[in-house]
Amino acid sequence: MSNGSFPPESGRRGGTLAIVLAALIPACCVAFWLLSSSPGGSKDDDADGGSGSTAPSTPSATASPSSGKPLQGKVVVIDPGHNPHNRDHPSQIARLVDIGTNKKECDTTGTATNSGYPEASFTLDVARRVRSVLEARGATVRFTQDGDRPYGPCVDERAEIGNEAHADAVVSVHADGAAAGQRGVHVILPESVRGGDADTSAITTPSRHLGERLLDRFVQATGSEPAQYIGDGSGLDVRGDLGGLNLSTVPKVFIECGNMRDAQDAAQLTDPAWRERAGRGIAQGITDFLNE
């Protein structure tokens, strides 16, 4: 084959191949035209993972932009109780502010476990976990503070932040500082009060609904029991002396996630895995309320 010529047998096969190709090309063209003109026969349909069916594709409900976003369009304000820097500003947080029915301190330092884990650190950690879940579900989440303020905000400003956001729900995250041996979670609901700038008449019912959903989901997520040392043992407590509730014009509750002064509760509150469950429980309670 040094001269580049084919042996006789190869020449015969080459000629036969040319004849076969000449016969097949028109048939292939016809087949290609039929396939491309049939419904669902384009390559783009198969590129999306189709099974090769020739049925025309139709948009499904799950393909909408809000798919998997049950809280799209909802605004939630999370109020992490206290502030890690409050202890450095005693005079500022001690000043009195108007809560409608009377006057109270701007804020406090909060409590801590016997080992020194501050309530303010706990509330921020849990609040951030709640935010992650809610944002993944499409909600717009705002904080009253994110450890980025020198102190506070004061309780009246905390309420105003929720009001100005026109929040669909506000949850203030706390942990209690009761006596050792007193355990469990409880949710504080606004009492119907009216005085000065305080008027909770429009929010008491929806706030109760929010509180009930919150308590139920928190107990499911964490295994905690409703606190027996406060209220009637239901885990729900109604109060009219908290500025954050009195001055709210949108549904709002406080959740006391456990007692930092009890060794068993403190062991949970200081456990990151438990705080993750707590955050998810709070987020699910809010989700249930907003989807009612």
pLDDT in tens, 208-249: 999 999 999 999 999 999 999 998 999 999 999 999 999 999
Q: How sure is the predictor about 12, in pLDDT bands with cuts at 50, 70 and 90?
A: very low
Residue 140, SS3 per DSSP:
strand
Q: What is the mean pLDDT of residues 151-156?
A: 98
Query: CA torsion angle for 119, 120, 122, 126 (degrees, to 10)?
Result: 130
pLDDT of residue 54: 32
> How large is the average pLDDT for residues 130-139?
98
Exposure string for 32-58, b = 16+ CB within 10 A, e = fewer:
eeeeeeeeeeeeebeeeeeeeeeeeee
Q: pLDDT at residue 48 above 80? A: no
For the beta carbon of residue 176, count every other beta carbon within 10 angstroms. 24
Q: Which CATH architecture has domain 75-290?
A: 3-Layer(aba) Sandwich (3.40)
Tens digit of pLDDT for each residue in 115-130? 999 999 999 999 999 9
Q: How confident is the model at residue 67 (pLDDT cuts 50, 70, 90)?
A: low
- Compute φ and ψ for 157, nearest 5 degrees: -70, -35
pLDDT band for 250, please (50, 70, 90 cuts).
very high
Could you tell me how far CA 91 lies from the centroid of its own chain?
Answer: 35
97 contacts: CB under 8 Å, gap ≥ 6: 103, 104, 105, 106, 154, 155, 156, 243
Q: Supply the residues annotated as catalytic.
A: 256
What is the rounded CA–CA span in Å between residue 90 and residue 10?
Answer: 100
> Which CA distances in Å does 196 have to 103, 154, 249, 292?
11, 17, 13, 32
Q: Are strands 140-143 and 194-195 parallel, antiparallel or unpaired?
A: unpaired
What local confidence, expressed as pLDDT, does residue 241 receive? 96
Q: What is the mean pLDDT of residues 158-181?
A: 98
Per-residue pLDDT, 159 = 98
Q: Cis link prior to 65 (omega < 30° from 0)? A: no
Q: What single-letter amino acid sits at 39?
A: P
pTM of the model: 0.78
Residue 142 has pLDDT above 90, yes or no: yes
Mean of the per-residue pLDDT values of the chain: 83
State the Cα–Cα distance between residues 187 and 206, nearest whole angstrom: 14
Query: Is the CB of residue 158 less than 8 Å from the CB of residue 252?
Result: no
Amino acid at 41: G
The C-alpha atoms of residue 91 and residue 98 are separated, in whole angstroms, by 17
Given a cut of 70, is residue 40 above it in pLDDT?
no
Residue 97 has pLDDT above 90, yes or no: yes
pLDDT value at 24 more than 80: no
pLDDT, position 68: 80
- For 212, the 3-state DSSP assignment is helix
Confidence of residue 44 (pLDDT cuts 50, 70, 90): very low
pLDDT at res. 113: 98
pLDDT of residue 161: 98
pLDDT of residue 231: 85
CA distances from 194 to 49, 138, 190, 201, 202 (A): 61, 35, 11, 8, 11
Contact status, residue 71 vs residue 83, Cβ threshold 8 Å = no
List the structure tokens of 162: 């929720």
Q: What φ, ψ does residue 243 adopt, rounded to 5°?
A: -60, -35
Please compute the mean of the pLDDT values over residues 38-51 and round it to a whole number. 32
pLDDT of residue 133: 98
